[in-house]
Amino acid sequence: MIPNEVRSNDVLPDSERIAQSICECQCDKTTVIINVFLSMEEVERLCNNFTVLDEGEMSMLCTPTHFRLSYARGHTVLIKLRVNSVVTDPGLSRVETLKEKLTAEFKSPLRDEHLTCLRYIVEARLHYSEVYCKVYELTQEFADIVEDFSVFDGTLEDGFIQFVQDSRFNVRQAQTW
């Protein structure tokens, strides 16, 4: 097992660099490397297969691509808000109006909200171009509070979050850490 160390500045320690070079090399099909990753991007880049463990039980074994396609349904919409829009009362009311319009337009609840960032997961029933055009129109309407936006396909992290919500396994729902 190759444990990852907590990164303070996203620079890989020497031991982790060596472990990653081993993972990236051409290993034969019988080689098994167990690694504890901190990011889903590392899993997607380095692993042929991976599993999700819950209380020591394997709850799924598949490729990262299969997992992402199975559970990361839809498109992720990120909207970056202007800092000055979230510190004034008129700006805050405009942000609330934007959130209401996005929720109504995509029939999708707000997934994450930070001081200057809104994140929505839009169901796959809409094409990427439709989602992009609708978000573009809304950001033009709210140009005074929106600094930037992006629309992209669901990520492995989105899939993992959905998997935990859909899982028939006990993923420690009642515990808070």
Report pLDDT digits (tens) over 60-79. Answer: 788 888 888 888 778 889 99
175 within some domain: no
Q: Which residue has 């405009």 as its token pair? A: 94
Q: Are residues 94 and 130 in the same domain?
A: yes
Q: Are residues 119 and 54 in the same domain?
A: no
38 within some domain: yes
Domain that holds residue 130: 74-153
CATH number of the domain bearing residue 78: 3.30.70.240
Report pLDDT digits (tens) over 93-147. Answer: 999 999 999 999 988 888 888 889 998 888 767 888 999 999 999 999 999 999 9
Are the C-beta atoms of 72 and 155 separated by less than 8 Å? yes
- Residues in contact with 128: Cβ distance below 8 Å, sequence separation at least 6, in sequence order: 75, 151, 153
Alpha carbon distances (Å) from 129 to 86, 132, 151 = 29, 5, 9
Using pLDDT thresholds of 50, 70 and 90, give the confidence band for residue 81: very high
Q: How far apart are CA 93 and CA 99, in angstroms?
A: 10
This prediction's pTM: 0.62
Q: Are residues 149 and 85 in the same domain?
A: yes
Is the pLDDT at 168 greater than 60? The verdict is no
64 within some domain: yes
